[in-house]
Amino acid sequence: MEAYKQEFIEFMVESDVLKFGEFTLKSGRQSPFYMNAGAYVTGEQLKRLGEYYARAIHDNFGLDFDVVFGPAYKGIPLSVVTAIALSELYGKEVKYCSDRKEVKDHGADKGGMLGYELKDGDRVIMVEDVTTSGKSIDETYPKLMAAANVEVKGLIVSLNRMEVGKGGVTTAQKEIEAKYGFPVASIVSMAEVVEHLYNREVKGQVVIDDAIKTAIDAYYEQYGVKDGAQ
């Protein structure tokens, strides 16, 4: 596993973004882990977060694109910090763009988008925090394509939960790839998280002990994808 991935896993824990225990997800599933990207709140955290996204985009998709698009609301700061990091790390100038939950009907920037005004032919990388069901992409992708005839080069999320999506066979990431025809990647997968954190101390405490590891294994026994379907 690359060093920046190991750093990112510990960074999520240190930032109280990735937690372990008992959580009820939006889907109703009872999960032994939960990720909340809204917990990145400091300047230092946001700077580092953008750098991790930029590195993962570089490694998975290259730098041949024009726009970073982040679905509202959590995707807005993600698109901004990622665009900044791409400039700082790689000298790559890109624009940021997000959709608005409510269309603005006044001013010079009225419309359904925030930031850069998309144009036909723009090549876009989408950024999200985590994809569990793909619902947010189903909502924002039509808005993106209605704004201009753009080419989506890929979607990057911070964590691949590696559980079955709405279809009940493959992951939400694979479902999105099949439905929309663009690749989906993550900074890290849950398998990499478990591999790195099992019996490892972060901030003086073991993050994934035997009990939590057992709960995670049981969760994936129920909700994980079967071999070959990831």
pLDDT higher than threshold 80 for residue 50: yes
The percentage of residues in the chain with a pLDDT greater than 70, rounded to a whole number, is: 92
Q: If you write DSSP's letter for every residue of 145-197 in order, what string do you get?
A: HHH---EEEEEEEEEE--BB-TTSSSBHHHHHHHHH-S-EEEEEEHHHHHHHH
Active site residue 104: yes
Report the pLDDT value the prediction gives residue 29, as an integer from 0 to 100: 85
Read off the tokens for 171: 């992951």
- What are the tens digits of pLDDT across the range 54-87? 999 999 999 999 999 999 888 999 999 999 999 9
CB neighbourhood size of 166 (10 A): 13
Of 98, 78, 210, the residue nearest 147 (C-alpha): 98
- Give burial (CB, 10 Å; 0-12/13-18/19+) of 22: exposed
- Please give the model's pTM, rounded to 2 decimal places: 0.91
Known catalytic residue at 106: yes
The pairing of beta strand 123-130 with beta strand 151-160:
parallel
The whole-number pLDDT of residue 106 equals 47
Helix (H, G, I), strand (E, B) or coil at 118: coil
Q: Which of 104, 110, 119, 166 is catalytic?
A: 104
Task: Choose, from 47, 92, 101, 106, the residue flagged as catalytic.
Answer: 106
Q: Which amino acid is located at 135 in the chain? A: K
pLDDT in tens, 102-139: 665 544 455 578 899 999 999 999 999 987 666 778 88
